[in-house]
Structure 1
């Protein structure tokens, strides 16, 4: 049995998992060996046979791999909710994004908007700009990244606004989170965890799942931009 528990996690939980790893190990838990990527990319990797003990995905993604028999359904637990937000480079003016009309105006006024192609936030944003009737204008000058942190494009100067889960925006230094997209325009993503059926480290995997679902981790989740 390994002295580490292998975790494949969506990027939205990267800050929280990294913050909690040392604390968990100090309390007697196994070392957390974690890799982070968007849910859709992780689903492809799991279906290609990549091994792990614990996976953290959107609830929809976790349900899919549970139905496929890759994750033990009885082990699945909800961890946190996350909202999509807007960020600017540190020191830049914060646009008004508090209403649908204000958000539309801010997006159209930006030189370029960065968003992700694969993540839950990018999928939501692509649908949102269609709904707002500004998809062609935004996409004509958007910086659409395949995966990773959109706020890095603020630091590089490629974009004026970055769109992503607030917990992902907060992973990038030298940026400022303006706030969430108006909540009536989005459905929060629920991130959940489960144990892989093929795990060779069942005891440690289940212990980690209990820890991640406990009230003890709530402060770290909040600090990283998530709602427990």
Structure 2
């Protein structure tokens, strides 16, 4: 479509992009289309030639893409920070996790643990690291339910028929999913806060509109929306 800005983005930003789609259309006349998923997968999509006007990824990945001359360095802007957090089904009691010991016991008592890709997603990689850190990776391996991205993992958690399921992914993906609730951040020593940044791609078909979308996503007047969908600022 001629009047469409195409985006490749980590799943953490999906709720924010959707929340601004109407305002962006009113301002520019352009709709927003694109893919949302594990950040590593989205970076590889750009590398292999998937058309995109802008990308929203982690700082490290976007810096790498700029070095590879796939993203215009001068266009890069911070969008906001997102915590990796725990989720439970809406009908289940929230869990209280204040220490590493609490987290270890919560994960050991869960009969299903829903997480995004443990190799390509930010939250999934962190979950794998934390399980190793807690010394329970082998013990809970058979209960890990791994999905391509956090949004899919959280939808599957909402639909789970397990007795004591729990999920772990980016807070924005938890908030955006019906049927589950945010149950709290990970405790000190296990926490992760990820900065997401955006940049116009070197092969953008609509660089002006892509830059306008980044300005909208990062703008001070959208701070309330960013907080509402789960960005910490």
State TM-score, norm by structure 2: 0.92
Q: Report the Cα offset of residue 184 of structure 1.
A: 3.5
Give 1:176's aligned residue.
Answer: 181
Separation in structure 1 between the aligned mates of residue 171 and residue 32 of structure 2, nearest angstrom: 24
Question: Which ranges of structure 2 fall in alignment gaps of 5 or more residues?
Answer: none
Give 1:86's aligned residue.
Answer: 86
Q: Report the Cα offset of residue 31 of structure 1.
A: 2.0
1:2 aligns with 2:2: yes
Give 2:221's aligned residue.
Answer: 216
The alignment partner of 1:50 has SS state of coil
Q: Report the Cα offset of residue 106 of structure 1.
A: 0.6
Write out per-residue CA displacement over residues 86-144 of structure 1, whole angstroms, 9 at most, x where no aligned residue: 11111212222121111111111111111112310010010011011011111122111
Q: Report the Cα offset of residue 29 of structure 1.
A: 5.3
Q: How does 1:4-43 map to 2 (within 5 A)?
A: 4-28=4-28, 30-43=30-43
Q: Report the Cα offset of residue 158 of structure 1.
A: 5.2
Give 2:56's aligned residue.
Answer: 56
State TM-score, norm by structure 1: 0.94
Structure 1 vs Structure 2 CA RMSD: 1.6
Separation in structure 2 between the aligned mates of residue 92 and residue 134 of structure 1, nearest angstrom: 24
Asked if structure 2 preserves the Cα contact closer than 8 Å seen for 1:71 and 1:194, the reply is yes
Asked if structure 1 preserves the Cα contact closer than 8 Å seen for 2:37 and 2:149, the reply is yes
Give 1:205's aligned residue.
Answer: 210
Gap change, CA 1:220 and 1:183, over 3 Å in 2: farther
